Amino acid sequence: MSDPSGARASAPVCYRHPDRPTYIRCQRCDRTICPQCQTQAAVGVQCPECVREGQAGIRRPKPAVVTAFRRGSSVPVVTYSIIALCVVIWGLQMIPGSPVTQWLLYYPPFTGAQPWRMLTALFVHSQGSFFHIVFNMFSLFILGPILERSLGRWRFIALYLISGFGGSVAVLLISPTTPVVGASGAIFGLLGAIFIIQRKLGGNTTQLLVVIGLNLAIGFLPGTNIAWEAHVGGLVAGAAVALVYLRTRRRDQQRRQALLVAGIALALIVITVIRFAMLVA
């Protein structure tokens, strides 16, 4: 009969725990390891040292360059502030005899003397339709946080204002005798921006395209009293700004991004000056 104590003494032990007999071997270095020390590999098991060496040998990718779409804040402060401002102004508009609407609406013949109306019109809404402000603010509540969190506050502000400005420019170009109010031009700019970003980044844009198409079509229906010109202008301006953001996403392109966005705003200003000069000539 063999001696059990002698067999135990001759059995291999874990190289990290000499008191633990084991017949398990590392597939890389062939050292004996106990169940506590082994790590499952693609084939067999490995010891802690081989696991560390393998991890050290892996070429880790460098951190991705910070892009324009990763610098946003978690709370969409700008979006909520715009909504609050529009609601407050609408409340002031509803006061009997209030001149707020007349002060802030955009009427193309006033462009030369009061050009700021091209932007202030974004914050006033129709006094005769409660659904005008409700629909616009609901749309902003849905779309705004998505873009503000992605782009960051300042880029979102630029996108919103340039889109709204583009809507006013389109009204000046196409329907220069029509007074307009509302954030629709800016909101269509947000829709255009989301469409461009999703399309360029490989997202599904079919449903969004349908939404844009339906909302544009509504503006052409008789009796709706909707400034479709502002919708088209805002859509085009918002898409242009979003395209710039996409093409200048790297940190080292931020100066170029700012210049190109300023260029879009400048182009709209030049168009405004030329068109107004043609109207008064």
The catalytically annotated residue of 126, 139, 168, 184 is 184
Give the largest CA-CA distance in the chain: 121
Question: Which strand (E) or helix (H) includes residue 39?
Answer: strand 39-40
Phi, psi of 45 (to 5 degrees): -130, 165
Phi, psi of 39 (to 5 degrees): -125, 130
CA distance 189 to 42: 51
Q: What's the token pair of residue 229?
A: 């010109």
Q: Is-contact 164 236, C-beta < 8 A?
A: no
Catalytic: 139?
A: no
Burial 10-48 (b: 16+ CB within 10 A, else e): eeebbbeeeeebbebbbebeebbbbeebbeeeeeebbbb
3-class DSSP assignment, residue 180: strand
Among candidate residues 124, 119, 53, the one with its CA nearest the CA of residue 88: 124
Angle at 253 between CA 156 and CA 235, to 5 degrees: 35
CA distance 203 to 197: 8
Catalytic: 5?
A: no
The catalytically annotated residue of 125, 139, 168, 231 is 231
Residues tagged active-site: 184, 231
